[in-house]
Amino acid sequence: MARTSQPLRPRSNLRGAPALRLRVGFVLIAMVLSFFGARLVQLQGIDPGSYAAMAAAEGMVNVVLPAARGDILDRNGEPLADSVDGLMVVADPYMTIDQAPEIAKFLARRLDVDYFTTLQRLRTQGSRFEYIARRVPSTLATDVVKAATEHGFKGIATRRDPVRDYPAGDVAANLIGFLGTDEPLSGLERTFNAQLAGKDGSARYEVGGGNVIPLGQNTVTKATNGADLHTTIDRDLSWYAQRVLRQTVEDAQADSGVAVIMDSKTGELLAVADHPTFDANAPLESPQADLGSRAMQDVYEPGSVEKVLTLSALIDAGKVTARTRLTVPGSLARQDRVIHDWFPHGNIRLTLAGVIAKSSNIGTVLAAGKFKAGQLRSYLVKFGLGQQTDIGVRGESAGILPDPSLWTPQAQDRIAFGQSLSVNAVQMAAAVNTIANGGVRVAPSLIEGSATTEDGSVVGTDTTTTRRVISESAAHQMALMMERVVDPEVGVAPAAAVPGYRVAGKTGTAQRVGADCGCYDGTFTVSFAGFAPADDPRFTIYVVVQNPRNGGGGGSVAGPAFSKMMSYALRRYAVPPTGTRPSHLPVVW
């Protein structure tokens, strides 16, 4: 039986229905937009802080790469200041924010940092890198981070950060200066900071989930380390001078003292010592008054050391010679006052050499009366008085040399023997060194080569200047006269002699002006300046002691210190005796 065939009906194809596909698509889009809208409301209105922190965890970190500071070196390359391994302690606020008070308390106790400043840094929003402490000794920094981890604190770490070290302690500390936490505070450290500091580098890298992304963005700019600063200082000689000076000040029960050791030919400063001084590794443990350079910043009246300038100028002017004869009375009435000598006497007959050997104020004033008006002041200016030496030490005083309008006959009498004018120690050492250098003043220098100060001045041995002040003959005569000062038979300072060597020198004792009254207050400055070998000078040394309470003068207080320092310097530099006979210029007639 045959079946009746029926037509086939096409099956329904939902996927192919255009209207249905559109409806489904709109529904899906609406769902996605609703989800993003809800997230936007949540991010901007409900919990912005936590999501900002999460975003910070997925960002860029900027880290400073500190430059190594240049060394400050002595003339032999020995470090006076250098940088040793150290660390900075840093924090990641993303990881410390929840425990910030506890961590801040811990770090303040262990690192001696301010609690509130540290707390603020630990809570810094959006930051992944904050300093907690700079230039921490490596051992301490490592111990602190280890202890923090043991306490369960996260986000505390270390980075390289060189620490400034002063291996010689107090040697030349008053010149070298020291650093604060983030900047140099005094001395050569500050004056030449631009050269020493270098330039910090930086690192910028991408983090995710609190970790560095290995293949993420990473940019490093290397640090440029600072350049070394070479000085003319001899560290070992300075160490010795510092110790001798300290003992001298303590034995004399004095307030303070300075010592300057100079190369007679070049003007290079081999030692500039101060006492009291400070340890540059712990400057805050010393009084503020001891942190500067007394040799450069303090001024005082030089006393009788000035006589070698006065009388050598007079010889140069052709007014006198070393053998000029003077009758010196026991007192001298001059204008507004009576001038006396340090020792009582009646009329004595001294040569000009005798005036120096006996350190006679009256004899000096009588001789200085031969100057023409303005002549003595002109010479003292050429010797460098009343002017800064400009060797590169901040705060240097120029001293006080009275203006010509104030240069009365009375003032000249006092200035001739070292009162009524003021100097600093390096300035006066350079003036006396003019005689040692054959009458040519060579500018003192502290920096080898050249370097630029913070005010743009270029200083150093490359810029040393010279000028003739007195003739070679006048300088030679004065050197012979100064030898008589240390002669045990006729001089006032035999304790300044150096066995085996010819020594030329001069004592100084001057009244001091009190800070409270602005008048001479009964205290004194005592000093000794000289050079050796006297007939072929190698070193000039100047020792100054303020307010000795043991009753001593320049010859008995400063003279022995000069002898010790000069003896050490001559031995250290293997300077042989000249083997010639010392001066025997007559001192009386």
Q: Is 304 labeled as catalytic in the residue annotation?
A: yes
In eight-state DSSP terms, residue 223 is -
Q: Which of 221-225, 385-389, 505-509, 546-550 has the lowest mean pLDDT?
A: 221-225
Retrieve residue 118's tokens. 């540290």
CA separation for the pair 365, 416 (Å, rounded): 6
Per-residue model confidence (pLDDT) at position 14: 46
What average pLDDT score do residues 106-132 get? 91
Do 196 and 258 fall into the same domain? no
Q: Taking each helix axis from N to C terminus, what angle separates 115-122 and 100-111, rounded to the nearest 10 degrees?
A: 140
Task: Work out the mean pLDDT of the chain and round it to a whole number.
Answer: 90
- With CA atoms as reference, report the closest residue to 481 among 353, 331, 299, 321: 353
Per-residue model confidence (pLDDT) at position 45: 55
Looking at the structure of the chain, the number of domains it has is: 3
Tens of pLDDT, residue by residue over 272-311, are 999 999 999 999 899 999 999 999 999 999 999 999 999 9
- CATH code, 343: 3.40.710.10
> What's the 3-state SS for 41-79?
HHHHHHCHHHHHHHHHHCCEEEEEECCCCCCEECCCCCE
Q: Between residues 150 and 216, which one has the greater pLDDT?
A: 150
Do 333 and 436 fall into the same domain? yes
Do 202 and 153 fall into the same domain? no
Do 207 and 309 fall into the same domain? no
Domain boundary at 161, 181, 214, which?
A: 161
Of the pLDDT bands very low, low, confident and very high (cuts 50, 70, 90), residue 223 is confident
Q: Which residue has tokens 């640090």?
A: 223
Per-residue model confidence (pLDDT) at position 56: 47
Per-residue model confidence (pLDDT) at position 127: 83
Please say whether the beta carbons of 573 and 295 come within 8 A: no
Do 386 and 478 fall into the same domain? yes
Per-residue model confidence (pLDDT) at position 24: 66
Do 219 and 249 fall into the same domain? no
| Enclosing H/E stretch for 540 | strand 539-546
Per-residue model confidence (pLDDT) at position 66: 79
Do 139 and 168 fall into the same domain? no
Q: Which residue has tokens 């290397």?
A: 222
Q: Between residues 70 and 22, which one has the greater pLDDT?
A: 70
pLDDT > 70 in the chain, percent: 88
Residue 52 has pLDDT above 70, yes or no: no
CA separation for the pair 418, 320 (Å, rounded): 20
What average pLDDT score do residues 259-268 get? 98
SS3 196: helix
Do 154 and 171 fall into the same domain? no
Residue 69 has pLDDT above 70, yes or no: yes
Return left, alpha or beta for 109; rule: phi > 0 is left, psi -120 to 50 is alpha, else beta.
alpha
Residue 82 has pLDDT above 90, yes or no: yes
State which residues form the domain around 251.
235-281+292-572
User: In 223-279, which ranges are continuous DSSP H helix?
Assistant: 235-251
Domain boundary at 139, 161, 183, which?
A: 161
Residue 20 has pLDDT above 90, yes or no: no
Q: Between residues 128 and 105, which one has the greater pLDDT?
A: 105
Do 186 and 335 fall into the same domain? no
Residue 434 has pLDDT above 50, yes or no: yes
Do 194 and 136 fall into the same domain? no
Q: Is residue 148 part of a domain?
A: yes
Of the pLDDT bands very low, low, confident and very high (cuts 50, 70, 90), residue 209 is low
Q: Is residue 186 part of a domain?
A: yes
Of the pLDDT bands very low, low, confident and very high (cuts 50, 70, 90), residue 515 is confident
Q: Is residue 457 part of a domain?
A: yes
First to last CA, the chain: 177
- CATH code, 225: 3.90.1310.10
Please say whether the beta carbons of 370 and 321 come within 8 A: no
Residue 64 has pLDDT above 90, yes or no: no
- With CA atoms as reference, report the closest residue to 480 among 586, 363, 379: 586
Catalytic residue among 83, 264, 293, 304: 304
CA separation for the pair 540, 263 (Å, rounded): 6
Of the pLDDT bands very low, low, confident and very high (cuts 50, 70, 90), residue 371 is very high
Per-residue model confidence (pLDDT) at position 22: 72
Q: Is residue 10 part of a domain?
A: no
Do 240 and 220 fall into the same domain? no
What average pLDDT score do residues 555-565 get? 98
Of the pLDDT bands very low, low, confident and very high (cuts 50, 70, 90), residue 61 is confident
Do 435 and 483 fall into the same domain? yes
Q: Is residue 580 part of a domain?
A: no
CA separation for the pair 423, 413 (Å, rounded): 17
What average pLDDT score do residues 512-521 get? 81
Please say whether the beta carbons of 189 and 196 come within 8 A: yes
- CATH code, 145: 3.30.70.2110
pLDDT > 90 in the chain, percent: 75
Per-residue model confidence (pLDDT) at position 55: 47
Residue 245 has pLDDT above 70, yes or no: yes
What average pLDDT score do residues 254-259 get? 98
Per-residue model confidence (pLDDT) at position 39: 61
